[in-house]
Amino acid sequence: MPHRHARERLTKEQYRIMREGGTEAPFSGALLHNKEDGTYRCALCGTPLFSSAQKFDSGTGWPSFADVIEAGNVELRDDATHGMRRTQVVCKTCGSHLGHVFDDGPKEIGGKRYCINSCALDFEKGK
């Protein structure tokens, strides 16, 4: 579902990524090395998406999570852009592109790797 006023609420980079399906450069995101306890929320609408308890260092250059806080908060879509078959992760509330999910995460924590753009997330400490 489109989010009204997205252009006014997001930076140019956030808009390019979240509303136009772009990606940030690897190892450039502000939340990549964040190790604080808390909740990662959609930067546009505030929907809770990921917990710091599910975050791990994948070495890929983007924040990576083993799972979402609640399955109903994201939508998974087929993505065949750039000559690849991937699964896109979208905020269910506002329809913003967040990143992609892959099946190459650590097996001991479920085998998933939600590879998410830092600028698509806001971090809330302690929750």
Residue ranges of domains in the chain, CATH in brackets: 6-125 (2.170.150.20)
pLDDT in tens, 1-28: 455 677 888 999 999 999 999 999 999 9
pTM: 0.91
Active site (annotated) includes residue 94: no
Annotated catalytic residue within 42, 94, 115, 119: 115
Give the mean model confidence (pLDDT) for residues 105-110: 89
pLDDT in tens, 55-93: 999 999 999 999 999 989 999 998 877 777 889 999 999
What would the DSSP string read from start to end of 49-107? EEEGGGEE--SSSS-EESS-S-GGGEEEEEE-GGG--EEEEEETTT--EEEEEES-S-G
Please name every residue paired with 91 in a beta bridge, in sequence order, or none if there are none.
74
